[in-house]
Structure 1
Amino acid sequence: MPGSGGDVSGPLRVLLADAASLQRAGLRTVLTGRGTDAPDGGGRPGEREIVVAGEAGDGVEALDLARRLQPDVLITDVALPRLDGLAVARAITEARLAVRVLILTGRDTDEEVVAAIGAGAAGYLCKDAPQTELVAAVHAVAAGGAVITPPVLARMVTRLAGTLLVDTGIAAAAKLSPLTGREREVLVHVARGRSNSEIAAILGVSETTVKTHVGHVLTKLRLRDRTQAVVLAYETGLVRPGT
């Protein structure tokens, strides 16, 4: 499964894909903290240094570089020439590359975020997001987490609550029946956006144990990543909006 994260003790390597060179330059500056000549990445103390491993101006080039460079995270615009960002994410997922994909968009539509999740993207962020939010999203995605820009997530949760018949009965029980009680508990915390380290602190177990539980949840429920786990938790009524 994509997202094993590589060497967590070394720099966090990102690949930038955007048709606009100025946009790529801006992302590089935000992520590294000092611009093109920076030997050190930005971020908070204790976080991995972010370095830009490569840049692409279209989707075909982005996919080729993802295969060759194997970055931790690909940050890609949706609107790329030759091959769009969603197609790139889908190809990376199908090839089972250990590359996490963070989608940047200027459109912010529910349909697009659903398509991004379906394509295997681990994150979906609007281009007007604060710089600190972008940096935090890159770290979260690289660590195996899932990130959806808060306004879109709130809107989608409301939409799910309002348009779906919450699967609280036999159907929900059938979907979640493969899980143990502890695995359900972990799924609840994942759906509420908590990281592995936060879940470990709450449950009083090691982070490695939490990673094992999350892996079992994804395997048993046949889910690709944490993003799909969040969606399923709301669809089945295991977690409800506002709880």
Structure 2
Amino acid sequence: MRYLRFSYEGKILFGQVEGESINVLDRSYLEDGCQKTGQIISLAGVRLLAPVQPSKIVCIGLNYAKHIVELGHTRHDDPVIFLKPSTALIGPEDVIDYPDMSQQVEYEAELVVVMGKTAKNISVDQAPDYIFGYTCGNDVTARDLQKKDGQWTRCKGFDTFCPIGPWIVPELDYNNLNIRSLLNGEVRQSSNTRNLLSSVPELISYISQIMTLNPGDLIMTGTPEGVGPMKAGDVITVEIEGIGKLENKVS
């Protein structure tokens, strides 16, 4: 099953994808009691949007060993967390804006967890019960500003720096998913989520000890090695096994 948020005839709607059709829902799939309306729309005739509107976007840095090496960092004892503003969020086919402040904007393909229930102080064993599903994400980063600032708010927080989509898929084996990025059709990152240093349940439990996670909140689980620069006119694609493709152009 694939859940999506989309625009159709001037309205923002929610639906379930079956084949090349969308079964329209009467409300968000994150709300209790949502049901099919009976309306069926062709998938090809809609504009896909970011599948959720989270209260926060929690990101994990340095969660693949080879990525730590390529950036010249050292592994931390605890997960490295930071936040992206909701204004950074865009959907499939939306444009990533290259900010004037930066000369080195880079892609970072990531598995994104979508929370389904409010989570606070939960255990690792409890964590899977709080997940709604998974989507693709791109933690777009102004690498030169990251090095300059020494902290990550500015370099990660520009408008359009958090593409996600194209939809949400529940019940995946998050411990074994192939993940890669392609720049203008050429593979740049290629790894598997089994290489995560902190697993999805470990991340959810850890974050929930710090802040309350709400339904629809996003956890970006970190990027593997192979990150690199993009320029205006480039097309960056994130592919994750069992989910699909997230594609955005840089402007």
TM-score range, shorter chain: under 0.3
Q: Which has the higher contact order (CA 8 A, sep 6+)?
A: 2
Please, what TM-score do these two structures have when normalized by structure 1?
0.26
Please, what TM-score do these two structures have when normalized by structure 2?
0.26
